[in-house]
Structure formats: structure tokens, C-alpha cells
Chains A and B, each alone.
Chain A
Amino acid sequence: MSSTETGTGTKIHVLGPLEQIPVGEGRAFAVDGKQVAVFRLREGSLRAVSAVCPHRGGPLADGTIDGQVVICPLHQHAFDLATGCSTTGANALQTYRVRLDREQNLVLETAPV
């Protein structure tokens, strides 16, 4: 993994090849001291949210997803993958921008604090 900082303070992190994440699942990455869960939706796009469930600390990268939400495996709280908002009344997740570069590497952006 490598990180670079842009002029605006946004940090760019290259997380390695897309193949680390099976279709329809998520994997967790330690990025800049934070835990980020990156999901690969069945329709092909990517989503990234904070990896720890705000309810009781559940591992969200182990959650079940569909096109909209991830469900935490511990107590079934659901979170919108695009906005981070919970559909079951838990606190919201942090969301991150994530994309692929030309070499099909995962690229995650973290905004300045």
C-alpha cells in the first residue's frame, strides 16, 4: 500500500489489486490508522465505509451486502453503503471515495482532518 498527499490535503491511498475482494463481499484495510471496509458490489462498483459498526463494534467487512446496504453480522444493523446512514437507527458510518486506477488497483481517498 502506498499513500500520497494532494495539494488540497486529501490523501490518496493505493490499496492494491481489486482481486483481493471477491464479488459481493467486503475486505477491511488499515488506512492511515483507520479501519476501512471496502465492498465490491455485484454490479461492479465499489463502496468504502468505516469498518467498525458504531453499535457494538461489529466487523462490517464480514457483513452481507446488496446494492444498497451492508448488514452487520453481530446484531443485524443495516447501513446505506453510499451515505453511511443507518436504516435501523444506529449511528452513521464514515464514507470514503474509492475507485480503480488504470492498473485495476483500489484507490481510496481520505479527506483532511
Chain B
Amino acid sequence: MSRSGVPDARPRLVVIGNGMAGARAVEEIIARGGTEQFRITMFGDEPYGNYNRIMLSHVLAGDEDDGAIFLNPLSWYRDNGITLHAGVRAERIDRFTKHVFSSDGRVTPYDTLIIATGSRSHMPPMEGLYTPGGSVKHGIFGFRTIDDTRKMVAYAQHEHHRHAVVIGGGLLGLEAASGLRRHGLEVDVVHSGGHLMSAQMGPEGGAVLRRSVQGLGIGVHTGSRTTAVLGTDKVAGVRLRDRPDIECDMVVMAAGIRPNVDLAVLSGLPVERAIVVDDSLRVQDEDDVYAVGECVQHRGQVYGLVAPLWEQAAVLANHVTGADTGAAYLGSRTATKLKVAGVEVASMGLQGPELETDEHIVFSEPSRGVFKSIVVRDNKMVGATLLGDSRKVAFLTQAFDRGLPLPEERLGLMFDLGTPGQEVGVAELDDDAQVCNCNGVSKRALADAVKGGCTTVAGAMDATRAGKGCGSCKLLVGQVVEWAAGGAVEDDPAASYYVPGIPLDKQALMAEIRKRGLRSVSAVFQALAPGGREDAKSKMGLASLLKMMLADQYIDERDARFINDRVHANVQRDGTFSVVPQMKGGVTSVQQLRRIADVAEKHKVPLIKLTGGQRIDLLGIRKEDLPQVWADLDMPSGYAYGKSFRTVKTCVGQDFCRYGTGDSTRLGVELESRFQGLESPAKLKLAVSGCPRNCAESLVKDVGVVAVEGGRWEIYVGGAAGAHIRKGDLLATVDDPEDVKVLAGRFIQYYREQANWLERTYAFVPRVGIDHLRAVIVDDAEGIAGRLDEAMQASVDSYVDPWRERDDPQTPGQFRTSLPLTVLPQVPVR
């Protein structure tokens, strides 16, 4: 009876379980008009909304915050009129009177019931798991829920905890091990099977995977059973059968999962390995009770992966709502494609040949961590394992799902020979092919979203949730959206904004700034931001742009700067700073070295480190000490902190090197003198090499110069060898070092004016094209070379060494500490 007095005639749908299966089933039901049809109530054991369990390994590794993995926030339940009992455990049902009894004493009637109780970590039998009081021993963790994960992270970050043992070398165990390794713990994996991931691959693949996992610094003990957890009140180690004990202070149980069937057993429902359901996901011999997910057994199969769950939820919703009572779930062929501990793993069907007539094609390259195995029967693919290289996965999955005929040359299954490559693959991919394995989104679903008007990649991703799981499919999602839109993909308009807070691209923004004569960041917000609202995320980009455009006419508001630029040093994880004095071209002197040594000694610098840019880094300097350190050094800033020109790396050059053909050190020093401190959209790292042996790595620099025989110099642009690797493109070959300076300066100025905020040259150069750059910069096809040179000269002339601010702080308390009491976390002193 509702409060308004009008009885609510809708039947009651009760869902036990608010995990991925329960919530997905409800989403599918709502998509079929379920909100009009039912009053929906959900019970969830955990006191939260619904979250993506697959992402817990990212949370453990620290790549993702636990807040970011929620799929449905509490407001979703409210908006859909769902009554959610979060943190309440349903204990049993009375299937004759149709009531659910829950841990809070509540009795809830239902007309239709869905059981989605999922599964839990399996605790293999061994001694010492529990304290005499009966609770799990301190330091033992499961890896199943968000609370498990939070507790593990907190425990791992506790400084006395140094060594973890993970029991189980399957998918989950390896994820746990690599996550804990990222927290700096020593980690050993103990696996009872003969090789890692024995459920997904054969021994040869396991051996290759073992090498990759060991490469991460993780110890691997296979064929080894844990017989006891040692320690009286907390974990002190584990005992292995036939092996020495391992000392540790943390044990993670990842030895598989078991379906949660207690409620079903107590309530008299049919349970074998799990709750037995038929092809409509109805519990056997029950008219109004359904079950879905990892707690069900269908045709003898129990699934522990996410993909079958999506298929089950759709069939279940068709029956519950009556949308399609002919729908049938016939089981899932499980193909997994995952990234485990940084290694790409895909597996489907058989692990190896089973009949004498089976063909087995194997490729193994352990040094690269690559292993491929394919099993063929009657010219159909019946199994595959791919490790470390998943480029052919889309094609193979389709061949496996559809039983496609295979190329006669079997090698083509593993490598791009005659079979469709990745690019054609998208068009030829079957409509039902799953693009996003985390959220179960098919190519058809994405294409439908595009047809429905989501013509941006971001829009289609929001609409379908494709790419919102582990993210490894984002490239493929983008390709599918492009294909579905027939090339008419609209750019997300915000994606073209120079900074998020002002709805203009860079050229339009620069034009407005010029037209209105704006000279400060606050003036730009007032004139051009919606509602005149300032936006913290936009400040740094605007400050850089204005300084580039206006040089000494720029009104410098210090609050627009990032902390590094306010104090001219690079902030470190403990709130201290690093100080890198200028060392042009990596050339130093006795006096400089002596002075740096004196300063390091006087200020008790915790770490002195040579940088990749051929300089000396003094780390762990407190903010309040910066001015004194600079005064004692009496050297200019090396700008190792800004979105700016950083350094020029050089090789020894012709004076000493017996191969040298050009004076690379001298040119490097001159380039650094000219471009020191220039703001730019992203950092600029340069190099000059004295011969094609390229000892200064010029081919992978933003601007790299190489001396070649005959006194000539090659200039490369757009190279990188950091997070991204790219060989630079040859911009020009010139005879005179002076021409190198002119062309490098012209390129840098063009990049400063044209590149998006934070767009490194390795992205900028291929975006505009090297031919275009050659035309503009070398051949002056647009007639702007003179203007670019002038603008660069103005910037060069306005250079001031920022470390001079030591004598004259720009703002009150510029160098005052921001962590006045204990500094956390402490960086260890070596």
C-alpha cells in the first residue's frame, strides 16, 4: 500500500546481490521497460553502489582511485525507483510464501526473485589460517571486494611490511602480485599447478609468462603447495611442501573462487557445484526464481569470467519482462583477452592438441615474452593462446566463434601475411564480435549508438560504456566508431579547446587575446570564460601562452603558475624540491663541480643524481632553503621543472673523439645559450651528435642535430624516447651551424604558436606533417619565416634567470614551507 492511498499494483521484483551480475540484470530489465512493470528492490551485502570488480587490480596497483570504479552510484538506484538495501545480507527465502528474510530482520515479499550472489575467495585448507579465537589471522587477505583491496593497500603501505606471498598463480594471483610489487613489496607467488595460469594455457606458454613475471621482480614457485601460514598472532611466513619456508608479513589468497550458494542451499533450491538453472536462467523447477552470474551452473558449466554474465543477463531480462520468451542461453565460449601484470594474454578453447589428427602451431620467443599457440581440428580453429602480442586476437576470436575456414598457410593465423590486418579487421569484424570485454559491448551495440546520434568517440563510449573497464580496447572502440560513422566522426568540441575552461581553440584564443589586448590570465578569464569564471586546470596553459605571445609585455600573476614555476624547482613526492643548475651541453668545469659538491655537503643533500639530460640533480631540497642553495651555487637555473626548453645533450665532438666530424659540443652549448628557459606547450629536449654514430641520441629528441661527413648538419624534429618512442623526421640538412640555430629556432617558434597545450613534438610533427613543416620552415612557403624569427628573437631577449628571485622574492612567503609539521611520506635517504 503506498502512502498516497492508491495501491501500487505493480508486481514486486526482488534481486539478491548488487554485484556486476545483479546490477547488470536490473539494467537489462529496465532497458526493457522494467520500471513501469515492477517495483524493484535490491539487496547488496556490501554497503556501496555497484562497482566494476575487474578494476580492483588497477586500484591495488594505484593506477585508479577506488572512487573511479563505481558503475552505478547510489543516485542511479534513486532515479530508477529502486529500493536498495546496501550492507544488508539476504539470508534465506521461503519459496512457498515468496518472502526474503534478511540480516536486518526484514521480511520482504516478492513476486519474481533473482539470485545473483556471486562468489567469494576460496581459502584452501591449510594450518594457521585462523587465530585461536576463530578470526582470520592478521595479515591474510582475500582479493575479491573493494574493502579487501583497500585493506591490502593500507597494509602494504605500512612501512614495516616488506614481503608478501600470493597463494595462487592464476589471473587474480598475478594481478595481486604485480599490484603489491608496485607498492615496493617483495612478492613471491606460490602456485600448486605446474605452470602459471594453468587454467588458460599450456606449459610452454606458462614458461614464457613465468619469465615475464620474474622480470617484474616477482618470485615464482610452481608445483608447490602451501601447507601452513606461520606466526602466532600475525603472519610471519608460509610453509611449503618439500620447499624451505618463506618469511613474509602478508599473505594474499588468490587460489580461485567458489560460488556463494548458502542462501540457495538453506532455501531448498537445487544446488550442485552452483545453483542449477535452465536455458532461460530460471532455477530448475521454480517458476518465479531466476539466478545469474558466477553463482549459477548452466548445462554443467560454472563461469568465473565477466563475458558470460552479460549474455546471461540479457536472456534473463527477456524472460522476466516477457520481452522475448523464446530467448535461450546456450552457454558461452570463453575467450579471454586481458592484460595480466603488464603482459597481454589472450586465450580461447583448447590449450593444446588432444587428438592425434589435431594440428598444433606454436611460436615462442621468450626473450620478448611472446608466445603463440593455435590448435586446429578439421580446418577449424579450436583453441589459441597468445602472450605478449595480441595483434591477431580480433581475427582469431572471430575464427574461433564462427568456425571460419582458415588460411592454408597456417603462419598467417599468427602474423599478418594474408589474413585481414588490424585496419581491415574492423570492417570485417562480425557484428556480434565483442569489442569491450569488460563491459560486454559488441560491435553492433557501438554501431547502433553511432546511428542513434553518438557521433563522437567519447559520446559512444559514454552511451555504451565501451572502453570504460580496463581501457585496453579504446583503440579498437575508436576504430569501430569511425567505421560506423563512415568517417564522419565528429570531434568532441571540447577536445579542440586549448584549455578546458575557455571554449576556443588555440588560434581563435590567440586572435581574441590580440584583438582585446589581454595581458594577464585573470583578464583572459574575465573576457573569454563562460560567466567570467576562472578555472584552475586552465591557468598554467594560459600563463604559458601569454608569456609566449607577449614576452616582457605579459602581466605575470604568480597564482596562475604551477608550483614548479612559482619556485623554479621540481616538486617531489614528499613536498621537497629538486635543483638542477644549468650545465650547457653537458659541459662542466672543475669550479662548477667543486661548488656543487660544497653546496651538497653544506645543505646535506640527500640524493645527488646525474640526469638523462647530462646535468646534476640535487634532490630533497626544502622549499625554504631554495634561495640559499641557489645563492651558494651561483649558477643559472637549468629549467628542469617547466613546460619549457630543458637541455641540449651533446657527445664529445671532434676535439677528442676520433670519429667526430663536427663540433657538436660547441653547437650544443650555443643552442642552449640561445633557447634557455623558453616557455613552450610542453617540454623540449634537444641533442647534438658529432657524427652519425649518434651518441647524443639526436634521432629521438624534440630537436636533434647530427653532424655528417662533409661538414653538414642534419636537423631532426619530433623524436621521443620516453613514455612514447618515435624517430624524428628529417627537417633539413644544412652546411653551417648558424643555419641550424635559425631553423631550430623557427621550428620551435612555429611549434610554440601552433601546438596544443601539453602536445609534445612527437604528436605535433606527425599531426601537421613533416612536408608542411619543411615548406613553412625551410622554404618559407607561407611567408612567415621572418616573423617567426623576430618573435623568437624577442623571446630570447626577454630571458631572465629565474633563480635571481632569491634576492627579491616575488610574493610574500614565496619560499615558505607548505608542510609546516611532519613531512609525509618521507623519501628514504640513500
Stretch at the interface among A55-63, A93-101, A103-111: A55-63
A90-B65 in contact given A20-B813, A57-B574, A62-B818 (Cβ < 8 Å) = yes
Query: What sequence of 0s and 1s flags, for each residue 43-66 of chain A, a beta carbon within 8 Å of any chain B beta carbon?
Result: 000000001100111111111111
Q: Are A27 and B816 in contact (CB under 8 A)?
A: yes
Whether the Cβ atoms of A56 and B818 lie closer than 8 Å is: no
CB distance from B530 to the nearest CB of A (A): 13
Q: Do B562 and A89 touch across chains, with their CB atoms under 8 A apart?
A: no
Instruction: Say whether B535 contacts A66, CB under 8 Å.
Output: yes
Would A78 and B536 count as touching, CB distance under 8 A? yes
Q: Does B514 reach chain A (CB closer than 8 Å)?
A: no
Considering the chains assembled together, what is the distance between the CA atoms of A101 and B533 in angstroms? 28
B821 at the interface (CB under 8 A from A): yes
Task: Give min CB distance, A105 to chain B, whole Å.
Answer: 14
A64/B539 contact (C-beta < 8 A), A22-B812, A37-B818 known: yes
Given A27-B816, A30-B821, are A59 and B537 neighbors across the interface (CB < 8 Å)? no
State A26–B533 Cα separation when bound (angstroms): 19
Q: CA separation between A97 and B434, bound complex, in Å?
A: 53
- Is A71 located at the chain interface by the 8 A CB criterion? yes
Q: A42-B522, A42-B559 are in contact. Are A62 and B820 (CB under 8 A)?
A: no
A56 x B558 contact (CB < 8 A):
no
A-B pair count, CB < 8 Å, reads 108
In the complex, are the beta carbons of B559 and A24 less than 8 A apart? yes
- Are A74 and B571 closer than 8 Å at their CB atoms? yes
Would you call B425 an interface residue if the criterion is a C-beta within 8 Å of the partner chain's C-beta atoms? no
Q: Are A73 and B813 CB-contacts (below 8 A) given A52-B819, A57-B824? A: no
B559 A25 Cβ-Cβ under 8 A: yes
Least Cβ–Cβ distance between A35 and chain B, in angstroms: 5
Judged by a CB distance under 8 angstroms, whether B560 is at the interface is: yes
In the assembled complex, which residues on chain A have CB atoms less than 8 Å from the CB atom of B540?
Answer: 64
Q: Give how many A residues have a beta carbon under 8 Å from the other chain's beta carbons.
A: 42
Q: Counting CB contacts under 8 A, is A3 at the interface?
A: no
Return B439 CB to nearest CB of chain A, in Å. 19
Q: Is the CB of A88 within 8 A of B539?
A: no
Q: Is B820 a contact partner of A57 (Cβ separation < 8 A)?
A: no
Chain B residues, Cβ within 8 Å of A88: 65, 67
Query: Which residues of B sit under 8 angstroms from A25, Cβ to Cβ?
Result: 558-559, 566, 811
Instruction: Point out the residue from A27, A35, A52, A58 that lies within 8 Å of B813, measured CB to CB.
Output: A27
Kindly state whether residue A69 has any CB partner on chain B within 8 Å: yes
Given contacts A20-B813, A35-B819, contact A62 B571 (CB under 8 A): yes
CA distance A107 to B563 in the complex (A): 26
Cβ-closest chain A residue relative to B823? A57
A29 to B575, CA, bound (A): 15
CB pair B825 A56 closer than 8 Å: yes
Cα A62 to Cα B540 in complex, Å, equals 14
Interface hits, B44-103 → A, CB 8 Å: 65-68
- Interface residue A14 (Cβ < 8 Å from any Cβ of B): no
Identify the closest chain A residue to B526 (Cβ).
A42
Write out the residue numbers on chain B whose beta carbons fall within 8 Å of the beta carbon of A57: 573-575, 823-825
9 intermolecular pairs with C-beta atoms under 8 Å apart: A22-B559, A55-B65, A56-B573, A58-B575, A62-B571, A63-B563, A64-B562, A64-B563, A90-B67
Chain A residues within CB distance 8 Å of chain B: 19-30, 33-35, 37, 42, 51-52, 55-67, 69-71, 73-74, 78, 86, 88-90
A-B contacts besides A23-B559, A57-B574, A64-B536, 11 pairs, CB < 8 Å? A19-B812, A42-B559, A55-B65, A57-B824, A58-B575, A63-B536, A66-B536, A66-B539, A67-B533, A78-B536, A90-B67
